[in-house]
């Protein structure tokens, strides 16, 4: 039997780091902490080593397909496949960021949607039977964050494809360039990207409906991280609970779902009783 392997992208700090910690404590296999910056990644590994945990490390920049391909080849050669993939890496501009809307739109979508999609397309072919994919979204990834009913209907169309979703993201960028985005899409590029990640998770699950591969999107909750300027009420370990649950404990019936911080699958389309705002 080959050794099982789990990968968490962007995991040298924050919620990703805590997910690695949680997996190291319970996963029956190797857990990879990954980061763009090698020094930061190795320092994070050393911190977990001091706790008695033994994560592995590999450099990974999801914005660089060559970096992802190199990691894919490494996993294929050393493990023959991949068992758990947590797509955690993301960026966020602060509320009062000085960058123009179009810069925020292009950069946020490039990292938080297009680079996550590219990473999936490169790594999914090596997913083993029984693999679980957890795409980290947000309460901002709830469909009600999109103002236009027409757009919401397109997002939830059961026939939406990856190509169609990617085209929608380009429409958003074009609208941001023209300054017409707010009326239909809202004012947050982060929210648009996370809604797209939730939609992507549902599309991916449909694509793998005839295989033993489970894909879910999860809102880990509003945690105290660099991304939130440490304003969130949750610790990173509390925010890691739902992602770790989906990786290790959730029944196979939980698939293609939008999962909340309390581990419950909630409606992606209906108004939320608990808005639980993040960024």
pLDDT at 222: 86
Q: What is the pLDDT of residues 188-240, one digit of tens each?
A: 999 999 999 999 999 999 999 999 999 999 999 988 677 766 678 899 999 99
Q: Which of 268, 263, 97 is nearest to 195 (CA)?
A: 268
Residue 105 neighbours by CB under 8 Å, 6+ apart: 172, 173, 176, 177, 181, 189, 192
Q: What is the pLDDT of residues 56-98, one digit of tens each?
A: 999 999 999 999 999 999 999 999 999 999 999 999 998 888 9
Domain boundaries, the chain: 5-93+111-139+196-277
Catalytic residue among 190, 208, 222, 245: 190
* Whole-number CA gyration radius for the chain: 18
Instruction: Give the pLDDT band (50/70/90) at residue 48.
Output: very high
pLDDT at 145: 95
Q: What is the pLDDT of residues 95-148, one digit of tens each?
A: 888 999 999 999 999 999 999 999 999 999 999 999 999 999 999 999 999 999
pLDDT at 275: 52
CATH of range 5-93+111-139+196-277; options 3.40.50.720, 3.90.79.10, 3.30.420.40, 3.40.50.2000:
3.40.50.720
DSSP letters of 23-81? HHHH-SSEEEEEESSHHHHHHHHHHHHHTT---EEEE--TT-HHHHHHHHHHHHHHHSS
Query: Is there a catalytic annotation at residue 190?
Result: yes
């Amino acid at each position: 039997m080959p050794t099982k392997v789990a990968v968490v992208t962007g995991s040298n700090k924050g919620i990703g780091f805590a997910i690695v910690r949680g997996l190291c404590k319970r996963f029956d296999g190797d857990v990879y902490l990954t980061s763009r910056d090698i020094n930061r990644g190795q320092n994070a590994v050393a911190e977990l080593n001091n706790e008695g945990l033994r994560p592995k490390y590999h450099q990974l920049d999801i914005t660089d397909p060559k970096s992802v391909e190199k990691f894919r080849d490494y996993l294929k050669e050393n493990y023959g496949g991949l068992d758990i993939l947590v797509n955690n890496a993301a960026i966020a501009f602060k509320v009062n960021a000085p960058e123009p809307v179009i810069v925020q739109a292009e950069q946020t979508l490039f990292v938080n949607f297009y680079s996550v999609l590219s990473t999936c397309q490169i790594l999914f072919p090596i997913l083993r039977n029984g693999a679980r994919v957890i795409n980290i979204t947000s309460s901002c990834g709830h469909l009600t964050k999109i103002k236009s009913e027409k757009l919401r209907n397109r997002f939830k169309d059961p026939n939406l494809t990856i190509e169609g979703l990617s085209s929608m993201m380009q429409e958003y960028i074009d609208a941001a360039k023209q300054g017409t985005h707010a009326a239909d899409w809202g004012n947050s590029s982060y929210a648009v990207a996370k809604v797209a990640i939730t939609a992507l998770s549902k599309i991916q699950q449909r694509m793998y409906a005839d295989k033993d591969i489970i894909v879910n999107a999860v809102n880990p909750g509003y945690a105290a991280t660099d991304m939130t300027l440490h304003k969130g009420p949750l610790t990173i370990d509390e925010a890691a609970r739902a992602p770790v649950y989906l990786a290790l404990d959730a029944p196979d019936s939980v698939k293609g779902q939008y999962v909340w911080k309390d581990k419950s699958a909630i409606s992606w389309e209906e108004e939320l009783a608990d808005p639980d705002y993040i960024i």
